[in-house]
Amino acid sequence: MPGFPIVTRADFSDTTFLLEIDHPAMARAAKPGQFVIAMTQRQGERIPLTIADFDRDKGTVTLVIQAVGKTTREMQAICQAGTKLYGLVGPMGEPSHIGDARKVVCVGGGLGVAPIFPQARGFKESGAYVIGVVGFRNRDLVFWEDKFRACCDELIICTDDGSAGIKGLVTKGIEMAADQHPDIDEVVAIGPPIMMKACAETTRPLGIKTMVSLNPIMVDGTGMCGGCRVKIGDRMKFACVDGPDFDGHEVDFDDLMNRLRRFKEDEKLAIERWSENCRQKALAESAERDG
């Protein structure tokens, strides 16, 4: 059976899970900030996912996925160690620019914690002083703390309820870092659009360069469909080929969030149909077992 073998599956919460995939060529080519397009089956949806890690020696790439839509829920249900992804295309997008900043803050919120890791590691390998700021709802959802401590000179963990690290949003972590380090060259933030917008507004009055990674609706990933267009200042860009990294102070986040809501009802119907099909399949299998 053709496909890309899943060698490791790990679950971080009821909705967030990790897949480590055997793909030596992609592992050799991958760079921080890039993404892939994954398909679970021949007629399946094409899902853009930012690369959360890559291991050139093992020949693997790692994706961290949140089961929120129909296809990601399907992936959560069927993607296990020993199975295969039908399609995996990449690495795609422009790699993050790493090398000039001498002191950088790498910010990840929620699922954005995973894709900010390669950037933190890349900055550290380039000789920069790296401050990690990662945010979660509570202690039970914290993951990869050891990985971040291994590549960050400082790590600030933020939780909504204060059960781990400091109580507050990642913007509080940025403010703490800025107070202690007036010589920060750059902030890199990855997470939900509302979080990245808040990060950009926090750094704007401080005059700190801030890069964000955008993940709008995407189809082909080559710039042909135009579905991933985003407003950057007075220009229109395609996240798949011009990004996914953009200057957070120029991104029109309101337009981005409006576009992300366009297919909300369609996604809801797709989830309902998939859930009903799963229910009917489970009933049929139960009836067959019972004879």
Indicate which CATH number applies to the domain containing 195. Answer: 3.40.50.80
Q: Domain of 77: which CATH number? A: 2.40.30.10
At 70, give phi and psi (nearest 5°).
-60, -50
In this predicted structure, what is the pLDDT of residue 74? 85
Distance CA 245, CA 228 (A): 13
Distance CA 46, CA 36 (A): 10
Q: How many domains does the chain have?
A: 2
Same domain, 115 and 219: yes
Identify the bridge partners of residue 10 per DSSP, sorted by sequence position: 18
Is residue 155 a part of any domain in this protein?
yes
Bridge-based pairing state of the strands 47-50 and 35-39: antiparallel
In this predicted structure, what is the pLDDT of residue 15? 86
Is residue 263 a part of any domain in this protein?
no
Range of the domain at 14: 4-92
Other CB atoms within 10 Å distance of the CB of residue 183: 8
Question: pLDDT truncated to tens, each residue of the chain (291 aa)?
Answer: 578 999 999 998 888 899 999 999 999 999 998 989 888 888 777 888 889 999 999 999 999 988 887 788 888 888 899 999 898 888 988 888 887 889 999 999 988 898 999 999 999 999 999 999 999 999 988 888 999 999 999 999 999 998 988 999 999 999 999 999 999 999 999 998 899 999 999 999 999 999 999 887 777 667 677 777 888 988 988 888 887 889 999 998 888 888 777 666 666 676 667 576 666 665 555 556 666
Bridge-based pairing state of the strands 186-190 and 103-109: parallel
Same domain, 117 and 204: yes
Q: Which two tokens stand for residue 237?
A: 């860009």
Other CB atoms within 10 Å distance of the CB of residue 266: 10
Last residue of a domain, one of 92, 124, 139: 92
Distance CA 177, CA 160 (A): 18
In this predicted structure, what is the pLDDT of residue 116? 92
Same domain, 163 and 231: yes
Residue 13, CA distances (Å) to 18, 75, 151, 217 in order: 10, 15, 24, 25
pTM recorded for the entire structure: 0.83
Rg (CA), the chain: 19
Listed in sequence order, the residues at least 6 apart from 61 whose beta carbon sits closer than 8 Å to its beta carbon are: 20, 21, 23, 26, 27, 30, 36, 51, 53, 54, 55, 88
Last residue of a domain, one of 92, 116, 132: 92
In this predicted structure, what is the pLDDT of residue 69? 79
Element (H, E) at 243: none
Distance CA 192, CA 212 (A): 10
In this predicted structure, what is the pLDDT of residue 119? 92
Listed in sequence order, the residues at least 6 apart from 197 whose beta carbon sits closer than 8 Å to its beta carbon are: 248, 251, 253
- DSSP helix/strand/coil, 39: strand
Is residue 143 a part of any domain in this protein?
yes
At 13, give phi and psi (nearest 5°).
-160, -170
Q: Is the dihedral of CA 106, 107, 108, 113 positive or negative?
A: positive
Same domain, 16 and 153: no
Q: Which two tokens stand for residue 155?
A: 């790590």
Same domain, 125 and 243: yes
Residue 18, CA distances (Å) to 41, 64, 153, 186, 194 in order: 18, 4, 25, 28, 24
Q: Which residue has the tokens 């690495």?
A: 91
- DSSP helix/strand/coil, 33: coil
Selection from 41, 44, 90 nearest residue 222 by Cα: 90
